[in-house]
Amino acid sequence: MDKGIAQLYSLVDEVFGFVRGPGQSMEISEVERSLLSMLMRVGRQALISYLDGKGAGYQGEEIVNAQGERLPYVRDRKCAYRSVFGSIEINRAYYQAKGAEGVFPLEGEINLPARGYSYFLQEISSKLAVNGSYEKASEVFADIFPLDIPIRSLERIVGDTCEDVSRYYEEKPAPELEHEAIITVATVDKKGVVIRKPPSDATVDTACTDPNKPGKKKMSTEMSAYTIKRHIRTADDVAGEMVEEKVSALKPKPQTKLVWGSLSEGPEKTVARLAEAITERLCWASELVCILDGEKSLWRLVYQYFPMAFFVLDIFHVLEHVSEAAHCFYKEKSPEAKRFVRERLRMLLTGNAGQMIGGLKQILTKRSLSKTQKYTLNKVIGYLERNKQHMRYDVCLERGYPIGSGVIEGACRNLINDRLELTGMRWTVQGAESVIRLRAVYINKDWKDFWRFRRKSEKGRLYGILLKHENDLRDEVMLKAA
């Protein structure tokens, strides 16, 4: 113990000696880089001193386990603990009897992770991994910390969190609602994920049986629940925002937002999760609005859970189809195409969807069109007619309801496109599911709270030591340190 503390003081003195000595002739950025390396050594020695203080966890010649079995002391065993400061060797007293599982008392006391990578290291490395490729995450981590994390290990770290994410949101308390946010919104969408053939040296999380052929898409389901203040607008206001891309300074922001996505659970279970989230966000004064695109299967499923909701066809999907019709006759982004779209969008927003569809039908029958133009117009008209009952945008504007699924579109982009569609990605259902769930934690801004939950959950699973969910003294210390 004394020797370890002496080494720690020596390293700290070395830091002070550097900044007052050789560092004085260097640029500040060079000093900063050198200090990081030196402080990593200080941190590693401090951890070693912490473990010296703990000892090996020796509790006498014999202990009694949770099953009442007597376990004699066998010997000390060493294991590697990989921290952000580098790898450290931990000496642990081992107790075991014939026919009984061996026990290391120290492991439960310090909450040693199962794979030997510290929870803090897992938290940092997995944040890098869900925001970029595993290769890039491993490279960036090694640039900052004195430890290399193999890509396989990084994949396993992310994969290990999958079930914990689900449990975390099942146990998370309902959000506190603001009285002014009286519109509760439910949105659902689907996004395809390409399932590629795993590489020959497939890791544990890419070796699962895949129901899809390599190169085929499997549909993931994304949902979002949130509350928002009522926002009264005119048709001209909305048309200006959507066609002329004008920004409204008074537009309210979503509150209590929850995003979730899944590739393996299926739409039914994801919508069931949505129903639970909506129930938590509905108060006596709330009005429920469901915003979806034109997929019939999702409409039917969401209707089952929210029969009394006000259903809205996402205006952005409608605008895509109207724009497609405009491009039959005019170049993209041309003034003529914008005018075509704006005129028809205004009809929709003022409650004249039938008149707008009728006008497209007249173009179809009265103009001389090519086969391609006829095909495109027929497709657009069919989409609009099938969903006409859900295009009551005039009512939405009067009541201050949202009419676009920008939140869920952003969720699809953040959950799926920005990570799972990076160049060269190789996904299986299990590997993609883990990334989607952990990205949801990041997008929902629950990252630090989730990792506190995971640390406590793992202590209960590995060592049978259950801790209360609310912050204890150690959590408060960690929060201050962060």
Give the pairing type, strands 287-292 and 183-195. parallel
E-assigned strands of 118-254? 183-195, 216-228
Which tens digits make up the pLDDT trace of 341-362? 999 999 999 999 999 999 999 9
pLDDT computed for residue 178 by the predictor? 78
Mean pLDDT of 184-189: 92
pLDDT of 476 > 60? The answer is no
Locate the domains of the chain by residue range. Answer: 2-110, 113-160+446-482, 175-413
Which of 91, 337, 285 is closest to 179 using CA atoms?
285
Give the residue among 132, 175, 208 at the shortest CA–CA distance from 428. 208
What is the rounded average pLDDT of the residues 170-175?
93
Question: H or E stretch including 71?
Answer: strand 70-83
Burial of residue 91 (number of CB atoms within 10 Å: 0-12, 13-18, 19+): middle
Q: pLDDT for 424-471, tens place per residue?
A: 666 788 888 998 999 999 999 999 999 999 999 999 999 986 544 434
Band the pLDDT of 138: cuts 50, 70, 90: very high
Q: Say if residue 411's pLDDT is above 70.
A: no
Residue-wise pLDDT for 216-234, tens only, equals: 778 888 899 999 999 888 8
Dist CA 381 CA 430 (whole Å): 40
Give SS3 for 387: coil
Write down the pTM of the prediction: 0.85
CA distances from residue 266 to 291, 300, 348, 403 in whole angstroms, order as listed: 19, 15, 33, 26
Q: CB of 52 within 8 A of CB of 1? A: yes
| Lowest model confidence (mean pLDDT) among 63-77, 120-134, 231-245, 393-407 | 231-245
198: confidence class by pLDDT, cuts 50, 70, 90: low
pLDDT (tens digit per residue) in 284-343: 778 999 999 878 889 999 999 999 999 999 998 899 999 999 999 999 889 999 999 999
Edge to edge, the sheet with strand 287-292 lists 255-262, 216-228, 183-195, 287-292, 310-313
Query: What is the average pLDDT score of the chain?
Result: 87
403-441 burial: b if 16+ Cβ within 10 Å, else e: bbbbbbbebbebbbebbbeeeebebbbbbbbbbbbbbbb
Distance from C-alpha of 351 to C-alpha of 235, rounded to nearest angstrom: 10
DSSP β-bridge partners for residue 312: 291
pLDDT digits (tens, 9 = 90+) for 114-124: 989 999 999 99
pLDDT interval class at 199 (50, 70, 90): low
β-sheet bridge partners, residue 289: 185, 310
**Structure tokens given for 468:** 């209360």
Q: Which residue has the higher pLDDT, 472 or 144?
A: 144
Q: Between residues 421 and 194, which one has the greater pLDDT? A: 194
Nearest Cα to 14, choosing from 37, 29, 3, 209? 37
Burial of residue 9 (number of CB atoms within 10 Å: 0-12, 13-18, 19+): exposed
Q: What does the pLDDT read at residue 303?
A: 93
Interatomic CA distance for residues 131 and 119, integer angstroms: 18
> Which pair of tokens denotes residue 169?
């949101």
Instruction: Provide the β-strand partners of residue 71.
Output: 63
Minimal CA–CA distance to 379: which of 353, 360, 398? 360
**Does the pLDDT value for residue 246 go beyond 70?**
no
What is the SS3 assignment for 475? helix
State the pLDDT at residue 177. 85
For 287, phi and psi rounded to 5 degrees? -120, 135
